Structure 1
């Protein structure tokens, strides 16, 4: 099969591309300017990261507080020993005989 070259000029095939861009030996990519500069995104991203780190710190502090409370309760419970168990059983028993 033999294919014939197009009979139209490059500017007529793709009217959105000027013909003089192809005159120097190859196509050139035309990119539009960005709508917003990249620096304008840094503010919202920074605020979002600060909020995320703050929430992570708050959760970590809450977990540490809970761990401290449980540890304190365990130490107090272990120090009371049999005396604590005896007092608990005596208070939990019925008062009527």
Structure 2
């Protein structure tokens, strides 16, 4: 009977004499692989939700900052228009938007 080499990727893990003995006696070869299970969750399971929450918080902060800048610009524009226009009157009621330097 011709000798054959151990199959594929199992070759480095089985000693040659054990493989030859199992081949000649037609005994099954039992391979025991010791593995350890991971405890807990991998880091990738936590990073995605944290990244999404962080992006949402930064986006909300930017939205609030833009709204405040817009309101500030609107207030400055209204003040500039009020000082340039002087008093506004409608139907006998006069409204002064800004006071002069004398009063």
The residue that corresponds to 1:45 in the other structure is 50
Question: Which residue of the other structure, out of 57, 63, 68, is the alignment partner of 2:62?
Answer: 57
Displacement, 1:38?
1.4
Give unpaired runs (5+ residues) of structure 1. 1-31
The 1-side partners of 2:59 and 2:89 are apart by 43
* Structure 1 consecutive aligned stretches of length 4 or more whose deviation exceeds 3 Å: none
Which whole-Å CA distance do the structure 2 matches of 1:91 and 1:61 have between them? 39
Larger Rg belongs to = 2
SS in 2 for 1:88: strand
The higher relative CO (CA closer than 8 Å, separation ≥ 6) is in 2
Give the match for residue 29 of structure 1.
none
Structure (1 or 2) with the greater strand fraction: 2
The 2-side partners of 1:90 and 1:75 are apart by 24
Q: Deviations over 1:21-67 (max 9, x none)?
A: xxxxxxxxxxx943101121110000000000010011011101100
RMSD: 2.2
CA distance in 2, matches of 1:57, 1:91: 45
Aligned mates of 2:66, 2:90 — CA distance in 1: 36
TM-score normalised per structure 1: 0.52
